[in-house]
Structure formats: structure tokens, C-alpha cells
Structure 1
Amino acid sequence: MKRAWVGTALRRIGDDKAFALAILIAALLVLGALLGPWLWPLGPLDMDFGAPLAAPSLAHPMGTDSNGRDVLARFLSGARISLAVGAVVVLAGLIVGGAIGVAAGIGGRAVDTVLMRIIDALAAFPPLILAMAVTVGLGVGLGTAAIGIALSSVPFFARLMRGDILKIRTMPFVEASVAMGAKRGRIIGRHLLPHTAPTMLVQCASVFGYAILTLAGLGFIGLGAQIPEPEWGAMITDGMQYALTGQWWLALFPGLGVLLAVIAANLLADRLEEALNPRSARNQVR
């Protein structure tokens, strides 16, 4: 029964044009990020002193910046940075937040109260403000920005995991395992975590988009990667000063990179939620 439902969900995903568009955008960004050094011969820090602020052309499809650096090479390198930070944030948030959620869900009232008050304290700060505070406290840079974003994502996973665990642990098959004397580790690994996978998968896609957008935001205000590091947010900030003088490409292309990455992540999250949730309105209609 469960396998049949999963197969139906996968077929619905495959028939979804928005999901296909999200996959296409994500695949192009990932391929560009991974294969960039082989697809394009110029490096992100290579300077062409004879062509500063050159408009897009065959030699430089996305133009050059004020120092003659190729924007396409910097765009592809920025994609690697943004996608890598997004993956690290999702992994760290899932592990730390998921562990806190599981502990709160099965640890009893006292453990639940202590852990969730800690999560509430973190969630009391707007995520961007918390990421900014951590970055400033640890020192401005790409690594500290990633740490700040990861910390701000922990409450997202912890609360969702706790809610799922509290719901699943009262189901008959879990209570039957407890009555049969199954160890807690087996119950968690065999029954609880597998049933939280659909919810966590959707959350991972959503947080991935949040991480890319927040990293770009920190870079834009000067708290993330610093020029000449080719990060999209820092590139937008560097290009804004030339926007009024006609060099539109400097801020446009990294901005499009952020936009496409966030759209792809949000589309994936929305479509996965619809496909994997049998109670969604769309699935009820079908």
C-alpha cells in the first residue's frame, strides 16, 4: 500500500510542468557550477586590463566588471559558492534541528520544555537578523555567514520534526512496537524517522532557497563574502554603483542567478508538498 502511494506521488511529480521547470533550472545551475571551469576557460579572478566594463559580447557573454574580470566566470563560481552554502545549511539544519526535534518529541515533558524554550529563543529573532548577529560576532566572511544562516535554520527543522514525532509516536504501529519491547533506537530508526522523511524533504527544499537568498542578502550589505570573492550578493553590490551609468550587466546576471535558484527551490518545495501529502487539496481532487 505504501509503495503504491509513493509510486502514485512520483507519477504526479513527473506529470507536473512546474516541477519539470524547477528541475530544469536546478539542473542547469548545478551543471554550470560543477562544469564551469571546464566549460569556460577564464577564471573568476582573471583580469583583462584592455576591456574594463565591457558590454556582453562573444568574448565575454555576460560582460566584464571594472577590473576586466569576466562576469560569466564569476557567475559560475558564484553558483558553486551559493549552492555549496545552501547544501551545507540544509545538512546542518537537518542534523541539528532534526536531532533536537526528535529528542523533544520522545524525551518527555521536561526535555521537551527545555529544548523547545531554546528553540523559541532562537526563533524570537528574525532569521536574517540572527544570521547578521552571528556573522558580526564571529567576523565578517563567507564561512561565518554560512554558520549564521545554518543556526537560523535550526528552528525550522526542530519544530517541524517535533510536531511529526509527537503525531507519529501515538500511532498504533508505534505503540505496538513499544508493547513488544522494541528498543528506543529501533523505534526511532525503523518507525519514526522514515515517516518524517516526506515532511523533511519538503523543508529541505524550502530552506535551500532561504539559504541562497539570505547568503546573497548578507553579501549585498557587506556581511558575507567580500569583493573580489565571486559571490552573487557581493557581485550585485559591486555592480549597483555602475547601474546608473549604463553597465546594467554587472548586477543583472548575479541577480538573475539568485532569482532562478530561489524560484527553483520554492517550486520544488511546493510541488513536493502537494505530491507527498495525500491530504492536499490537489490530491483530493484527483
Structure 2
Amino acid sequence: MRRFLARLAHDRELFFGVTILGVIVFLALFGRLLWPLDPLRVDILNSLMPPSPEHPMGTDDVGRDVFARFIQGAQVSIGVAIGVTIAGTLIGGTLGLLAGLVGGWFDAVISRVMDAILAFPPLILAMAVAIGLGPGVVSAAIGVILAAIPWYFRLLRSEVLRLRTLMYVESAQALGASNLRLIRLHILPQTTSTIFIQASSVFSFSILTLAALGFVGLGIQPPVPEWGTMITEGLAFALTGQWWLGFFPGLGIFMLAVSANLIADRLRDIYDPKSGARLSI
């Protein structure tokens, strides 16, 4: 943490990424207190109003405040992305740790399953899961988690295989340390920074994939505000001058993804500068 804070004071790109992410997270957490309008409130008389002091991001085709919907969309996108990132870390990371340490048939079987999942492009896999389970936030989250698990698995498995060859790990194993003790005391502490770096990249991927699923109608369903769905709704009015309907949610997706990627890149430079190829998505 000290290295991160020291780098934050001098690295403009890292500072920019943390600032943008912090602003969006702040809006997601406290935006409803600062702007208490109901994002689902219909006001036909004020439909398609351009940005103004009363409606900083304008209104949509049924008079709903776009800024209020933007705030709730941030809550939904960030909440689901955090859940996806944590679930992918726990499932994929645990499988990778066990496969690298146990080896044998367990490693062979899990590795083949992960290779089969990686054979599909991540977005196509997430779309297929969402179609199979039906549109909705749960199916979208499951699809993104399934696409993210192999990244953690391969990363942690390779790290464990590398750490197993180190002298102190071999000594602990020779003294009879159990696999759980090896992971808890000797392996996991050495991989924590790598996990956080990958989690930053997966968070960005989750934001983009959830927006893409919402854009094609497979993600979070209306009337719940979600940035990808809001862009889809705004396309119908893009050619008639109501640019704000799709612009602001698209800007939110862009800024959130860019900030997460900047943070991931800088964390990689700080903690694991030789791992760029392994951590790429």
C-alpha cells in the first residue's frame, strides 16, 4: 500500500485513473442523496428535454431524469462488476491454486475444462450463457463470471508452479506441511499483488461486457436503469438531435473502463513489472 500511495503522488496517469474511478464510485454511493429524483418517475410533459440546471443530463422520451438514471446505472454496473470480480477471483483462483499444488489428474481435468472455456471468445460465451438462462442480471453475471474464471485459473496455476520450485517452499513441503498450510503461509502471500492486478483488469472487462449484454437486450432488463440499455434506448433518438440519451451512459462506461485499465497497468508496473504478457486479457 505504501508503494501504491507513493506512486500515486507522482504518477499522473495513476492519479487520473484513481480520481475518475473515485468520482464514479462516489456518485454510485451517494448520488441519490445529492440528486434524489426518482429514476423511474415518468413526466411526459417534460420528455426529451435537453441538459439544463433542472436536469443536468436532460430527460428521456417519457420524461425520466437521465442524471438520476445515470446514477442508478452506475450503482448497478459497479455492484455487478464487483460481484463478478470477487466470484471470479474466488472460484478461478482457488482452482488454480489447487491445480498447481496438487497436480496429477486433478490438474489435467481442470486444465482441459478451462481450455475448452477459453476456446470461446469471452463476449460470445457470456452472450450464450445469457441466452440459455434468459435475459437478466443473474444470467449476465453468471456469463461474465464463467468467462473470467479461466484467466484467474491460468494465472494462479502458473504462479504456483513457479513458487513450488523455490527452496523455502520445497523445504516446508519436505517437513510435512499440508497443502492448505503451503497455500496460506507460503504461496498466497506471494500472489496477492498479482491477484489484485488481474482483478482490476477483470473489473474493466465486466463493465464493458455487462454494457454489451445490456445493449443487445440480454443484460439487466428495463425499467431498471443500466448504461448499456440506456445507450440502446438513446439510439432511436440519435438522428433527431437528442444526443444526451446515449452520450452520458456511454461516457460513463468509457471513463470507468479507462480508469480501471489505467489502475491495472500501474499496479502491474509497481508490483509485477515482468508479468504484462501473463496478465493481459
Cα distance 1:257–1:9, how it changes in 2: closer, same or farther (>3 A)?
closer
Match of residue 147 from structure 2: 152
Match of residue 3 from structure 1: none
Letter in 1 for 2:271: L
* Alpha-carbon contact 2:101-2:179 (below 8 Å) kept: no
Letter in 2 for 1:225: I
Match of 1:58 among 53, 58, 62: 53
Query: In 1, Cα distance between the equivalents of 2:273 and 2:49?
Result: 53
Bigger Cα displacement from structure 2, 192-201 vs 237-246:
192-201
Helix, strand or coil at the partner of 1:257? helix
Letter in 1 for 2:242: Q
Match of residue 279 from structure 2: none
* Alpha-carbon contact 1:227-1:235 (below 8 Å) kept: no
| CA deviation vs aligned residue, 1:55-79 (integer Å, no higher than 9, x gap) | 0001100000000000000000000
Spell out structure 1 runs of 4+ moving beyond 6 A.
Answer: none
Match of residue 117 from structure 1: 112
Match of residue 194 from structure 2: 199
Helix, strand or coil at the partner of 1:264? helix
Structure 2 residue ranges without an equivalent (≥5): 277-281
* Alpha-carbon contact 2:215-2:228 (below 8 Å) kept: yes
Bigger Cα displacement from structure 2, 272-281 vs 134-143:
272-281
Pair 1:253 & 2:248 matched: yes
Match of residue 15 from structure 1: 10
* Alpha-carbon contact 2:136-2:220 (below 8 Å) kept: yes
Match of 1:185 among 173, 176, 180: 180
Pair 1:171 & 2:200 matched: no
Helix, strand or coil at the partner of 1:117? helix
Helix, strand or coil at the partner of 2:44? coil
Match of residue 284 from structure 1: none
TM-score by length of 2: 0.95
| CA deviation vs aligned residue, 1:210-250 (integer Å, no higher than 9, x gap) | 00000000000111122222000000000011000000000
Match of 1:274 among 266, 269, 275: 269
Residues 35-50 of structure 1: matches in 2 within 5 Å?
A: 35-50=30-45
Query: In 2, Cα distance between the equivalents of 1:129 and 1:231?
Result: 20
Please state how far the C-alpha of 1:41 moved relative to its aligned partner: 1.8
Match of 1:68 among 63, 69, 78: 63
Match of 1:86 among 56, 81, 89: 81
Letter in 1 for 2:9: G
Please state how far the C-alpha of 1:12 moved relative to its aligned partner: 2.7
Bigger Cα displacement from structure 2, 104-113 vs 6-15:
6-15
* Alpha-carbon contact 1:71-1:250 (below 8 Å) kept: yes
Cα distance 1:19–1:61, how it changes in 2: closer, same or farther (>3 A)?
same
Letter in 2 for 1:142: V
Match of residue 108 from structure 1: 103
Match of residue 265 from structure 1: 260
Letter in 1 for 2:30: L
Letter in 2 for 1:19: L
Letter in 2 for 1:172: M
Query: In 1, Cα distance between the equivalents of 2:223 and 2:232?
Result: 11
Letter in 2 for 1:104: A
Please state how far the C-alpha of 1:170 moved relative to its aligned partner: 1.0
Letter in 2 for 1:174: V
> How high is the sequence identity, in percent, across the aligned residues?
49
Please state how far the C-alpha of 1:278 moved relative to its aligned partner: 5.3
Match of residue 203 from structure 2: 208
Structure 1 residue ranges without an equivalent (≥5): 1-5, 282-286
Pair 1:28 & 2:13 matched: no
Please state how far the C-alpha of 1:143 moved relative to its aligned partner: 1.6
Helix, strand or coil at the partner of 2:36? coil
Question: What root-mean-square deviation, in Å, do the aligned CA atoms of Structure 1 and Structure 2 show?
Answer: 1.4
* Alpha-carbon contact 2:208-2:257 (below 8 Å) kept: yes
Bigger Cα displacement from structure 2, 101-110 vs 152-161:
101-110
Query: In 2, Cα distance between the equivalents of 1:19 and 1:237?
Result: 32
Pair 1:96 & 2:57 matched: no
Please state how far the C-alpha of 1:92 moved relative to its aligned partner: 0.7
The size of the alignment, in residue pairs, is 276
